[in-house]
Amino acid sequence: MATSGNGACGVSAAASGAGSEAVVRVEGLRKSFGSNMVLRGIDLTVMPGQVVTIIGASGSGKSTLLRCINLLETPDAGHVWFRGKDLAAEHVDINALREKIGMVFQSFNLFNNMNVLDNCTLAPVTLKKTSRQEAEKVALANLDSVGLADFAGADVNTLSGGQKQRVAIARALCMKPDLMLFDEPTSALDPEISGEVLEVMRRLASQGMTMVVVTHEMAFARSVSDEVVFMDEGVIAEKGSPEKMFTDPEKPRTREFLARYL
Ligand SMILES: Nc1ncnc2c1ncn2[C@@H]1O[C@H](COP(=O)(O)OP(=O)(O)OP(=O)(O)O)[C@@H](O)[C@H]1O
Ligand SMILES: [Mg+2]
């Protein structure tokens, strides 16, 4: 296995070997903010079509991990490979790779000065140079898939939270991502509204989308995940199948955390 001291050398032995089919491989990832060491050596592999959920207490580093995967944050040490490419390598086109990683945030982050359709076509037209006609066709198909075909012309400010989040998912899908990152996508929503967003995510998972989902929705994590990762103070304290994690976790910290939800 490569270690975090290898430097930025492109495709590593680890990433080019038998595991090269991984969508994301994280090794030895470390990140501090000042003296606050937030990620203390994270190793994680996400294979095509896998749904990995990340659970853990507030401040354990879940968002920072997601933000390092799409380079919204720059890691201090360690590596992130996306489809075999080291994101820290100098010759790698970060923007091109990032276009293949969709991100959905707790706070929607829609462009409030645009209607629903323009939210969905902006990135394909400006970043990928897709024709407007093609971008609109793709956008309408994705809006349809999240149940919002009739809202293409709507002002986003008039939508409910659940509708906004479904637009955010459709918008991310318009870039035809290889990986979707979700950071607590339902935390800002009322419980009865969360269901419609979780249903869209569930469908996406069943269609084979590779997903990393930070969530406190334990029923969702249990039913949709291939792997559940429990983060505690900047490390992966335990990971495993949903059955194991939710019925028979090994670590006292995992049990203690889950006891709050079960
Ligand atoms: N840009 C930043 N600058 C300084 N400190 C940060 C920054 N981003 C995160 N932190 C700190 O890093 C730690 C981990 O934050 P992070 O957002 O990754 O946790 P989290 O597990 O996502 O928590 P939550 O469940 O509350 O969202 C916290 O102490 C936070 O204050
Ligand atoms: Mg967070």
pLDDT in tens, 85-135: 998 887 888 888 889 999 999 999 999 999 999 999 999 999 999 999 999
Q: Does residue 175 surpass a pLDDT of 50?
A: yes
Ligand 1 neighbourhood includes 58 CB (under 6 angstroms) = yes
Q: Is the pLDDT of residue 4 over 50?
A: no
Ligand 2: centre distance to CA 16 (Å): 31
Query: Is 36 a pocket residue for ligand 1 (Cβ < 6 Å)?
Result: yes
Q: Tokens representing 199?
A: 């249903």
Q: Is the pLDDT of residue 178 over 60?
A: yes
> What is the CB neighbour count within 10 angstroms for residue 160?
12
- End-to-end C-alpha distance for the chain, whole angstroms: 37
Q: Which one-letter DSSP state was computed for residue 155?
A: B
pLDDT of residue 8 exceeding 70: no
According to DSSP, the residues that pair with 155 across neighbouring strands are: 115
Please tell me the distance between residue 143's alpha carbon and the centre of ligand 2 in angstroms: 27
Q: What sign has the CA pseudo-torsion 201, 202, 207, 210?
A: positive
**Ligand 1 pocket check for 60: Cβ under 6 Å:** yes
54-to-60, 66, 234 alpha-carbon distances in Å: 10, 10, 12
Determine if the pTM surpasses 0.85.
Answer: yes
Band the pLDDT of 7: cuts 50, 70, 90.
Answer: very low
* Ligand 1, atom 31, residue with closest C-alpha: 59
Q: Give the rounded distance of the alpha carbon of 121 from its chain centre.
A: 21
DSSP, collapsed to helix, strand or coil, labels residue 214 as: strand
69/54 Cα distance (integer angstroms): 13
Q: For residue 251, what pLDDT is reported?
A: 97
Q: What is the pLDDT of residue 89?
A: 82
The residue whose CB lies within 8 Å of the most ligand 1 atoms, and thus the one to mutate among 29, 32, 33, 187, is 33
Helix residue ranges per DSSP H, the chain: 13-16, 62-69, 94-98, 116-126, 132-145, 161-173, 191-206, 218-224, 242-247, 252-259
- Look at residue 170 and tell me whether its pLDDT is greater than 70: yes
- The vertex-129 CA angle with 125 and 134, nearest 5°, equals 60
- Name the residue of 53, 60, 186, 213 whose CB sits within 8 Å of the most ligand 1 atoms, as the mutation to test its pocket: 60
The token pair at 131 is 């024709």
Residue having the nearest C-alpha atom to atom 8 of ligand 1: 64
CB of 33 closer than 6 A to ligand 1?
Answer: yes
